[in-house]
Amino acid sequence: MAGSLPDLSPFFERYEQHAREADALFERIRAEYPELVVCREGCSSCCHALFDLSLVEALYLQAEFQKRVPEGAERSVILDEAEKADHAATLIKRRLYEEALAGKDTAALMAEVAAESARCPLLDATERCVLYAARPITCRLYGVPAAIGGKAHTCGKTGFVQGGKYPTVALDKMQERLFALSVELAAQLGTAYTEMASIYVPVSSALLTDYDAAYLEIGSRRKEKD
């Protein structure tokens, strides 16, 4: 029999602290440039962006989904939409991978990713997030300038001008912290899959995945490899 999952609440609490820090950064920039940050309830521009979650974020989002969305019609609709979004994301990633193998440069590939869109399965019929309180950190910072791979990016709906001098969130550093936390979490899990912390998945996949002991290779599988 596979082993059970350890208590992940300490890791989730640390993740929530990172999320609070992201919120504080967003609010600080909005307070300084209220006329340029146009985020408002019902705007779902950022909910169509293509991005992936670290291990700790994927586990956290799945746990919150299980806790906040009970079995029933709403959950079924979300999971149906997640299936569609996951299929679309897989096709996009496959195409980008083939283009990378063909020699397309990294900058061009990143620009292509930024231009892609896929509706988040957590959006309801009113264009509001079903798990807004537990939304990923990328979502929390979308409406303000952020540096990714050494280049500044921001939502096209904002008033921020490309090349302007604004406070910029170092999103790469935030992701490095999440990766480090994911490495610690994977070690705590005792997973036999040593590269588990390096796996990044879209929101759709995080919602669809059953992060049980078998999937995480905990327990009997670990003993077999010892």
Q: Read off the pLDDT of residues 16-66 as tens digits, 9 standing for 90 and up.
A: 999 999 999 999 999 999 999 988 888 888 898 889 999 999 999 999 999
Letter string b/e over residues 155-187, b meaning 16 or more CB atoms within 10 A of that residue's CB = beebebeeeeebebbebeebbebbbebbbebbe
- Cβ(69)–Cβ(75) below 8 Å: yes
Q: What does the pLDDT read at residue 149?
A: 77
Q: Read off the pLDDT of residues 105-134 as tens digits, 9 standing for 90 and up.
A: 877 777 777 677 789 999 999 999 999 999
Q: What does the pLDDT read at residue 222?
A: 42
Q: What does the pLDDT read at residue 3?
A: 52
Name 42's Cβ contacts closer than 8 Å, sequence gap at least 6. Answer: 126, 127, 128
Residue 213 has pLDDT above 60, yes or no: yes
Name 121's Cβ contacts closer than 8 Å, sequence gap at least 6. Answer: 78, 79, 81, 82, 84, 85, 203, 204, 207
Burial of residue 214 (CB within 10 Å: 0-12, 13-18, 19+) is middle
- Cβ(82)–Cβ(69) below 8 Å: no
Q: Which residues pair with residue 123 across a beta bridge?
A: 129
Q: How confident is the model at residue 165 (pLDDT cuts 50, 70, 90)?
A: confident
Calpha distance 2→223 (Å, rounded):
10
Give the range among 6-10, 45-49, 54-58, 198-202 with minimum mean pLDDT.
45-49
- The sheet that has 151-153: what strands, in order across it? 151-153, 146-148, 169-170
Q: How confident is the model at residue 209 (pLDDT cuts 50, 70, 90)?
A: very high
Q: Read off the pLDDT of residues 65-108 as tens digits, 9 standing for 90 and up.
A: 999 999 999 999 999 999 999 998 888 888 888 888 888 887 77
Instruction: Please state the domain extents for the chain.
Output: 9-33+41-217
